[in-house]
Amino acid sequence: MINQINTERLTIRSTKKVDADFCLDIWLDEEMGKYLSDPPRDKAGAIYSSWKENVEIYDGCHYMVAISKDTGAYIGTCSLVPSDDNKVWDLGYCIHKDFWKQGFASEMISSLIEFCTVNGGEKITASVAKENIGSNAVLNKLGFRVEREGVFNKSGTSIYYDEYVYGYDLMSSK
């Protein structure tokens, strides 16, 4: 588990059971979770109920929440999935719509870049729907580069999104 990462405005910490409803509320929301692979709320089912109960058990993915230092409000979620040797870390993130376009995604991801670097990472990957203009802009701004293109399915639906798979070379930033 990742105990805590502090930025100028955020405390980023491992997700606890008390945070699970917030996570599911944004991931399964029609607007906020639109470009995530998570299903719509009505198709979430038992897997998400199980996740909610077991969120504090590390299963190969570090689930985290980002909380405002000033107000204590939940800002968003993020996750890191390390490769077996901790050299490549896969990044996921979602910001609550009340906090879009305020620099929180950049701040959160920048701190995760630093965390991965300190923990032996050599590369970070992130998959983003091509249509997700905001997320693509954030990753480009932070120096991620498109390495390949693909397609992913929004779970429980017949919705498919073309995607960019980004890479960030941590070795060149050292």
**Cα(38)–Cα(55) distance, integer angstroms:** 16
Of the candidates 172, 82, 64, the one whose C-alpha atom is nearest the C-alpha of residue 119 is 82
The 10s digit of each residue's pLDDT in 73-82 is: 999 999 999 9
Q: Which residues contact residue 164 at a Cβ distance below 8 angstroms, ignoring those fewer than 6 apart?
A: 127, 128, 130, 136, 146, 148, 149
Position 174 in a domain: no
CA atoms of 159 and 60, how far apart (whole Å): 27
pLDDT of residue 134: 96
Say which CATH number the domain at 89 has.
3.40.630.30
pLDDT at position 162 over 70: yes
Locate 157 and state its tokens.
């639906």
User: CA 14 from chain center: how many Å?
Assistant: 12
Tell me how many domains the chain contains. 1
Averaged pLDDT score across all residues of the chain: 94
- The pLDDT of 66-71, averaged and rounded, is 98
pTM for the model: 0.93
pLDDT of residue 173: 63
pLDDT exceeds 90 at position 100: yes
Given this model, what pLDDT does residue 49 score?
Answer: 87
Can you give 83-128 as a three-state secondary structure string? CCCCCEEEEEEEECHHHCCCCHHHHHHHHHHHHHHHCCCCEEEEEE
Residue 78 lies in a domain: yes
**How far apart, in whole angstroms, are the C-alpha atoms of residue 30 and residue 33?**
6
List, for residues 108-152, the tens digit of each pLDDT value. 999 999 999 999 999 999 999 999 999 999 999 999 999 999 999
Instruction: Report yes or no on 34 lying in a domain.
Output: yes
Quick one: which of 153, 36, 132 has its CA closest to 93?
36
The residue behind tokens 């990462």 is 5
- pLDDT reading at 1 higher than 70: no
Longest dimension (CA), the chain: 45
Domain that holds residue 141: 4-169
